[in-house]
Structure 1
Amino acid sequence: MAPTSATDIEANPGTTSHVNASANADAPLTTNGTGEKEKEIATMLPESEGKPSPARRSISSRWSEAVSPKHADLICLVLCFITGLCDSAAYNAWSCFLAMQTGNTIFLGLGASSQPSGKPWGWLKSLLSITSFFIGSLLFSLYGRHVGPRRRSTLFTSFLFQAALIIIAVALIEADLIPHTEAESRTLTGGRLFLELIPIALLAFQSAGSITSARALGYNEIPTVVLTSVYFDVASDPKLVQDVSGNVKRNRRVGGVVMLLLGAIVGGWLSKSSGGMESALWLSAGLKGVIGIGWLGWVAEVK
């Protein structure tokens, strides 16, 4: 078809509309398919952006999952060792316990008659230790019940917090702000004497975290902080003389006694060393920190 000239258009005005219609007819038809796709993409983008990536979901689910209690009795035995370390070092320096509150209760009772005569404020240290341990037990238990006692995140944060409290206490001692030898404590009747109450409170508070974790993991036969009931349970066990593999609870109880005794022996020797009681506390903090980090890689509980 020959092109339409300007003269033809002027002569026949109707040709213009015919040309436009013809041009529109010859042009390729456009659909709204592209627009619909853009709308679909726009609709999908916020939803996909709102979802965490698979890696993030994996980390989040692992953080909140419960750990398997299988073989966690070995962790409880290490906690017994730590109790021995801390209590032997503390008793050597301050004549009170941090975890074994039965002994502190006796010392508190002796304070009513102003005994021992050379330690007029011994009852106050014992009372503070008992109180701090009680508060620690309450708060650690509440925390576990609120977020889940065997969750990976619960155990991780709990043990790192315990390690941090030990580090704060030993840092105060390292700075020579706190009396930390028996000779220093014996020659003081006030002033710096009462500064001993700071690390005692911190260390007794964190000791409660050990037994809280042992109970949460289901190993009631390893209390980690007391042995009197364990001695009774071992002696009264009707299966006491069974073979090693036939009485697992007995083995755990005996292991707890051995580990706590070993910790007390090591703590005593460390207190006599050039590092003093600080070395025993640093070791305790290190072990609790390692345990806390270890929970990150612990096997999850199979549901």
Structure 2
Amino acid sequence: MRSPTHDPDETSSLLGHQSQPPRSNLHLHRLKSHLTTPINPQHTELILLFCFTITGLLDSSTVFIWGSFASMQTGNTVYLGLGAMGADPSSTSRWYKAATSIGSFCLGSACFSAAHRWASSSSSSGGGSPGRLPRRWELCVSFAVQMGCVAAAAVMVTLYGSTGSSSSSSVMEKEENGIGWRVFLPLALVAFQSSGQAVSSRVLNRKALTSVVLTSIYCDLFSVPVVAGTGKRRADEWRRAGAILCLMLGVAMGGMWAKSSVGVMGALWMVVAAKGVIVLAWLVWRGDVHVDSGYT
């Protein structure tokens, strides 16, 4: 008895490509896997040290031009206290700016922290545990938001000329006349984003490198070797020393921008570029080898 025959086209159309997904889906899967992979924490302190340079660049230019710090809230708290008590007659607007910067920084800390907490709880692995490594997209989005805030401030300064340089009048005159949204709104945006750097240091478990304060770093740098009873410097001490040098480098650059005809506008656009470099760095940062990304 002759067995029935089948047309090869009938079976090939049903079985020939079942195990081969479309190429576009494969690329999307690779991209998703890349973005959701936790980063390798090794050498992440280099990014935070770079953030110290950004802090110095912003603070030196904003305090010189606008009369208020963008990141160093200790100094702003002093300005706020003096102004509230009427003990700073030389500037009637400085303490308003200080209050704006402090409030924006606190709001930013709450927002960035809540965003990282949400990302942690939505992770399929880690369950939001304190030791969980941040995923690549979390840090990319965080620094992209920071970059967007500084870019918005830079656009305002560029278009509306909110006391952009120190060449036309003295710093004191700028502080007196700088009561308005052209100063307060850019300052609020820059202070808001600066908190993202501090929150990132917590997420990366680099709590000593907040990138916004040096007092505790000075204390640890000179007290830890004495307490430990050894004159040798450990890696943490070298990182703290690097943080001081990086911030001083940023201060020098910010001072040059503030004294130039470009003013704070140049410093802001430089920070936008620096934040963009950090976003790209997180995109290509090596993933953690101990975590299964789900892609083979």
Fold in common (TM above 0.5): yes
Partner of 2:128: none
Aligned residues: 271
More helix by share: 1
What does residue 174 of structure 1 align with? 158
Equivalence for 1:62: 34
Aligned letter for 1:160? A
Is 1:188 matched up with 2:151?
no
Question: How do 1:125-164 and structure 2 match up within 5 A?
Answer: 125-148=97-120, 150-164=134-148
Structure 1, gaps ≥5 residues long = 1-24
CA–CA distance in structure 2, aligned partners of residues 119 and 227 of structure 1: 26
TM-score, normalised to structure 2's length?
0.82
Task: Name structure 2 gaps, 5 residues minimum.
Answer: 121-132, 291-296
Letter in 2 for 1:278: M
- The 2-side partners of 1:226 and 1:178 are apart by 27
3-state SS of paired residue (1:236): helix
CA distance in 2, matches of 1:211, 1:274: 31
Q: Which moved more, 1:135-144 or 1:77-86?
A: 135-144
Q: 1:211 aligns with which of 198, 212, 228?
A: 198
Q: CA RMSD in A?
A: 2.6
Aligned residue identity for 2:282: W
Match of 1:275 in 2: 262
CA distance in 2 between counterparts of 1:289 and 1:210 reads 14
In the other structure, the counterpart of 1:95 is: 67
Match of 1:266 in 2: 253
Using the size of structure 1 for normalisation, the TM-score is: 0.80
- Aligned 8 A contact 1:90 1:97 in 2: yes
Percent identity of paired positions between Structure 1 and Structure 2: 32
The match for 1:233 is 220
Greater mean alpha carbon deviation, residues 102-111 or residues 197-206: 102-111
Of the two, which has the highest radius of gyration?
1
Q: CA deviation at 1:49?
A: 5.8
CA-CA distance at 1:213 after TM superposition:
1.3
CA contact (8 A) 2:93 2:176 kept: no
- Segment drifting more, 29-38 vs 142-151: 29-38
| Alignment correspondent of 2:125 | none
2:31 partner letter: I
* CA shift in 2, pair 1:269/1:51, >3 Å: closer
